[in-house]
Amino acid sequence: MRSPAEIRHDHYRHLFLDARENRGRIRNGLATPVAAAAFTVFNLGTLAQNFDASRAAEPVSLVIAVLAAACVTLILAAVYCTVKVEWRFVHLEPPDLPEIVRVEQRIRAAHRDRNDRLASSDVVSEELQNILTGSYYAGYDAYITGNAQSALYRMWALRLVLLALACVAIGFLLLPFQGSGGG
Residue 181 lies in a domain: no
Residue 183 lies in a domain: no
- What is the pLDDT averaged over residues 79-90? 86
Number of structural domains (the chain) is 1
Task: Work out the number of other CB atoms within 10 angstroms of the CB of residue 154.
Answer: 22
- The C-alpha atoms of residue 156 and residue 11 are separated, in whole angstroms, by 32
Q: Residue 132 above 50 pLDDT?
A: yes
CB of 40 closer than 8 Å to CB of 71: yes
Residue 182 lies in a domain: no
Model pLDDT, residue 183: 45
Cα–Cα distance list, 121 to 99, 117, 162 (Å): 18, 12, 59
Q: Residue 126 above 90 pLDDT?
A: no
Closest CA to 142 of 103, 80, 94: 94
SS3 assignment, position 93? coil
CB of 157 closer than 8 Å to CB of 76: no
Domain assignment of residue 38, given as a range: 4-176
